[in-house]
Amino acid sequence: MNTASTQPASEDYTTIIGLEVHVQLQTKTKLFCGCSTTFGAPPNTQVCPVCLGLPGSLPVMNRRAFDLAIRAALALDCTIAPFTKWDRKNYYYPDLPKGYQISQYDLPFSSDGALEVSDPKGAFASRKVRIIRVHLEEDAGKSMHDEAAGKADSRIDLNRAGTPLCEIVTQPDLRSPQEARAWLNELKLLLVYLGVSDCNMQEGSLRVDANINLHIPVGERIAKTPIVEIKNMNSFRSVERALTYEAARQWEEWRATGAELGTSPKQTRGWDDPAGVTRAQRHKEESSDYRYFPEPDLVPVTVSEAEVAAARAAMGEPPTVLRRKLAETWSISAYDADVLVNQGRDLVSYFEDLAARIGEGKLASNWMQQDVLRTLNERGGSIKDFPIRPDALADLVGRVRNGDFDTSRGREIFAEMLASNKTVAEVVGSMGIAAVGDDEMLSLCRELIAANPKIVADVKGGKEQAAAGLIGQAKKKNPNVNPGKVRALCLDLIRQMG
């Protein structure tokens, strides 16, 4: 299929997208046993009779996992159920030796939430995405097909079996692949801020399945294409690409066959990232195929209002609240607040420290974005290890603001502070940079005026911009001068000449 030549116009249909996200909770141990959840251990070294499902072993719920899940659900505006239970989801697969997964079926611990996403750059309007439910379940193991060097075999690693997962299911409220990606970014940011999960997709801590179909106006009615569930997307970028491909594919298929929702079954397709296409997979089981029944080895969980209130109080500030707070406290734009908050809590703390020291949010935000963030992007590393601490940067920014040196000089000093770990005073000393005194400035400007009668005549004739010629010469004579001060002083002197 050549999607490039048949790219449909966006007004031809509405794209309907819902997401199902599995997030690994940040616990040291598994959901129903004491085995470690540390990533990267040799295969099958983090297992015990419980997570292997050996006869006679009994699961015990990890309270820490449950508390983290409550925190996530509250942050997603969900209602917490006062009574919740566990169910067995039965299916056979080599990486599930128990033959069932402990999950939650008809009484999930939370439901009816929402998470809003907006784009301060204005690519799409703000959108509230409703969340149907958030429930807890244990992960299965991992099958590794042909992953051992060149051998056509399959191996099973059960280290993951029993790892606590939160499953977050949205209503189909998203309307474009770009929105879906932005919403996932917001979800990830939220869960990382609250310490619920590290959301590391490479390590499998966050996995996404997406449901998509098209609503196509045909005369008076809306034709709906069959819903497709896309799997195997290993980055948010892949999610956006897969959904973009799939929307175009469904449009083509509908034009060719007219297949509609209800007349053909729900399909599962896998994303082939290198090829950039989705491919049909096995028929997806209906929930009745899993023969859910209540888990007899675990007691139901009751959650009191007091426990919910305590969890809410201990939750910490989610990104939405923090963005508003930064914008209000420091008089910075929504866009600036967004850039800072999206970098994570440590960077926000650094910014708040810097802004408080210099007493000016916008100036602090400019230095954060133009200098600190740019440096982090170029060099890598985290703000925690950034060599220039907020007090040292505040010293530099304060001196630039006072006119001790101009911004470009300030940047040179910043670079030298980064390279040498020196303070502003030490760098200024070693670079031979000194603030230029008033007398020195006055004699320099007088000298420039005397040497440039043409510029003086132009300025007197009303062309103030001609004074720019004097600044270049002043910088040559003394690189430490502040261009703004030179300009103001020269204009003053010329005016005094009458």
Q: Which is nearer to Zn ion, 48 or 60 (CB)?
A: 48
Distance CA 158, CA 319 (A): 35
Phi, psi (degrees; rounded to nearest 5) at 73? -65, -40
Q: Which is nearer to Zn ion, 54 or 314 (CB)?
A: 54
Nearest distance in Å: CB 46, Zn ion = 7
Q: Which is nearer to Zn ion, 47 or 436 (CB)?
A: 47
Nearest CA to 409 out of 385, 427, 423, 421 is that of 427
Give the CA dihedral 113, 114, 115, 117, nearest 10 degrees: 170
DSSP string, 383-426: GGG-SS-HHHHHHHHHHHHHTSS-HHHHHHHHHHHHHH---HHH
Nearest distance in Å: CB 35, Zn ion = 3
Q: Which is nearer to Zn ion, 54 or 148 (CB)?
A: 54
Residues contributing to the site for Zn ion (CB under 5 A): 33, 35, 48, 50-51
For helices 407-420 and 390-402, give the axis angle rounded to 10 degrees.
Answer: 160
Nearest distance in Å: CB 164, Zn ion = 12
Residue 177, amino acid? P
Q: Which is nearer to Zn ion, 52 or 431 (CB)?
A: 52
Q: Which is nearer to Zn ion, 101 or 320 (CB)?
A: 101
Q: Which is nearer to Zn ion, 55 or 437 (CB)?
A: 55
Nearest distance in Å: CB 49, Zn ion = 7
Nearest distance in Å: CB 98, Zn ion = 11
Region for residue 241 given its phi and psi (left: phi exceeds 0; alpha: psi -120 to 50; beta: otherwise)? alpha
Helices (H), 76-164: none
Give the single-character DSSP code of 2: -
Q: Which helix (H) or strand (E) holds 358?
A: helix 345-358
Nearest distance in Å: CB 71, Zn ion = 24
Nearest distance in Å: CB 48, Zn ion = 3
Beta-strand relationship, 267-272 and 228-233: parallel
